[in-house]
Every structure is written in structure tokens, then in C-alpha cells.
Amino acid sequence: MTELIPTSELPDSSDPDHLVKRSRGGFFLGAPVFLWMGLFFAIPYLLLFLQSFWEPTAFGVARDWSLDNYREVLGASQLAGDIYLPTLFKSIKIGAMVTAFSTALAFPLAYLLAFKVKRSRNRMLLYTLVVVPLWASYLLRAYAWKVILGQNGLFASMLSILGLENTFLSDLLYSEAAIVIAMTQIFTPFMVLTIYAVLERLPQNLIEASKDLGVGRLSTFRRVVLPLSLPGVVAGATFTMGLSSGDFVAPMLVGGESDVMIANQIYSQFGATNNWPLGSAIAFVLLAFVAILVWISTVAEKREQI
């Protein structure tokens, strides 16, 4: 039998020495995490932010502080013209399309996993099929769509069988539609996992009570399941929107010359043109958009909880 410890021998939570020991223990446990975040996240971002106010030169960077890079990104500079801001808006539009299609595909699948698949073995099989694409390299999945949508790919062969080889569908590769298709397939598993995590925790007694009151399945879904699942939808949409708007691999592989996204502009500034200050400014404008997106989703989730 286990011996019970008298309450008198337990440490007093109001004891100052005990509080100091707990704070020291928490500090030592969290120190590696804070050190890692500081070295590989906070300091690089700080240096990148400072660099966005500097000026590029022929041989490097001059530490002359100005807002010229941000003026150029936002189209206020007379030298650059209106280039980067339309690209940012186009990236946001593509991200919104990817988010909408991913949500439309992910919600039924997550609902099926949470409520319709009763046997644990079948549920695990379906769950594994959702997760398996995440095991493959992101670059491999994006390149696979270049092969599928190519002139001799699987999609072209299907169009040939259906007699549609001379339609607009045969020119999907190197287009905005190809970018949306590729990124929708890439980010849909994240949406499924996020929504399924919320649906799985829904109180079953609410759904059973709705059925006992004679409410139909559609009304139960609309009045009970859908409102309670919105936090997962909002979280998944925020995640998908942020990643897809800042993606550059899929646009580079399956997009055309006119389908450049904002991340490709950042890559070009740090690579081909060697204009690191301007690339830093573009990156922080994109980061500001993602921060606003996260703030909006946080406010929306708090309202849903209220």
C-alpha cells in the first residue's frame, strides 16, 4: 500500500522560498527555448528589420537610414513605379483562393473522420492517408504537379482521352490556375488536421440533444456543428492564408513569368539583384500582412468563444 503524505509536510505554495525555487526551476527549464528563439528568430529578424532602412550600394550596403525602401515597396517612389504592391495584392488573392478551396475540401473530410467513420481501424487508415502527403518533401510535391500538368503528363493524357486536348484546360501549366491547384493540394492536409482537432472534441451530448428534439441533420449541422467548428476553420484558414501568400516554390515551378508572387520578389532581391535592404523591406511588409491576419483571426476566435 502507498503511504499518504500528510498535508503538513507538503510545500506551502505561499512560502517565499518555495516561490523562488519554482521561479528558478521555470527559468532553467525555459532558458534553452528562449536562447534558441533569441539566436535563430529574434536576432535575425531584428537585423533584417534594421537592414530594411539602409541603402544598397554597388559593393554592399550603406548604413544610411531612410524610408526609401518602404516607399519603393508601397509604390510611393518615383524611381520604381507601382511594382511590388500589386504583386502583394496578387499574392493575397491567390492565398485567399487557396484557402477557400482548401477549406471546401478539408471540412467534409474532417467531418467524415470525426463523425461518420465509426471503426477505429478505418478512421486510422483515412487519417494516415491524409497525413502521408506531409511525409514527402514540399519541393517534391510541387514538382510533381509540374509533371502532372505538363504536355505529356497525366492531366494531358486524360484530356486527350476525353477529346479536350485543344481547350483552355491544356494550358494550365505555367498559369495562376496551376499555382492555385498545386498549393491547394499541398495545404489541404493542414486544414484537415486543424478542423478535425476541433470536431473531435465537440460534445456529443449537444448533437444527441439536437436529434432528441427532432432537429434534422442539416439544421443540427448548421446550428450546432458549424458554429462550434469555426475556431478550427479560422485557425486553419489563417495558417493556410499566411503560408500560401508567402510561398515561392510552387509559383516558381508551375507559375509563368507573369505569375510572380511577392516571395519570388524577395528571393530575387536577395539573389539576382543583390539588393538586400529592399528585399528586407518587402519581407517586412509581407510580415506585417501576416501579423494583421493573425490579429484578425485572434479577434474572430475570441468573439466565437463569447
Phi, psi of 61 (to 5 degrees): -135, 135
Which residue shows C-alpha cell 476553420?
233
Phi, psi of 202 (to 5 degrees): -65, 135
- SS3 call for 265: helix
DSSP E strands in the chain: the ranges are 55-57, 60-62
* CATH 1.10.3720.10 holds for 82-305: yes
Neighbour count for residue 162 (Cβ, 10 Å)? 10
Which residue shows C-alpha cell 516607399?
71
- SS3 call for 222: helix
Cβ–Cβ under 8 Å, residues 144 and 178: no
Tens of pLDDT along the chain (306 residues) come to 445 545 455 455 555 555 555 666 666 777 788 888 888 888 988 998 999 999 887 777 888 888 888 888 887 655 555 788 889 999 999 999 999 999 999 999 998 888 877 777 888 888 888 888 888 888 888 888 888 888 777 887 887 887 777 777 777 888 888 899 999 999 999 999 999 988 888 877 777 777 777 777 788 788 888 888 888 899 899 989 999 998 888 888 888 777 789 999 998 888 878 889 999 999 999 999 999 998 988 887 777 665
What is the residue extent of each domain of the chain?
A: 82-305
